[in-house]
Structure 1
């Protein structure tokens, strides 16, 4: 069920503390941690504590938490001192778009030139 922790979800295990991660920021509704395979000098994932399979499901079921994820991405950018130079926030949705963990998450990317279009 959406919102409930999933036993086989890596990010649910990070939220519960069962899997270690380099946490950079936490709130009541979100956790932000460094990506283990960074694609930029600053690559932080911001996730909701509750399990939703992707950003669209999160926005539909819990729009206030989706807003928290986006707000926290901005807070992490400020904390990492990349907000003045520009950063990208990306939600991959579905395997065809590169989503590999099916728990909603935003990628905060910064610290190098980010060309457009990405990919």
Structure 2
């Protein structure tokens, strides 16, 4: 619902506010780690559709906010917990060839490269 609302100009600001409140609840009230949110959003079971659903983008936005507070718990650590390096590499390569997921795939690839865990795809 938040993802859909954020794509409509009339509801975009409301969606951002709702998402921010959700993030504050996850972090400040429920004390959810980025890893826990990853599983709550079922990203651990997304498989090859990891890049095509709306939840990866939501998790990344949470992760960015979360890392400001807990920078030692990195995105790469969570991704590699649920996905093997070769699978991630292939998913990133596939996602980079799709204009709808290219930016997101590049962002994740760069995050993973910073941790020297994934060879760059071409």
Q: Of Structure 1 and Structure 2, which has the larger fraction of its residues in strand? A: 1
Q: Of Structure 1 and Structure 2, which has the larger fraction of its residues in helix? A: 2
Q: TM-score range by the shorter chain?
A: 0.3 to 0.5
TM-score w.r.t. length of structure 1: 0.33
Greater relative contact order (Cα < 8 A, sep 6+): 1
TM-score w.r.t. length of structure 2: 0.33
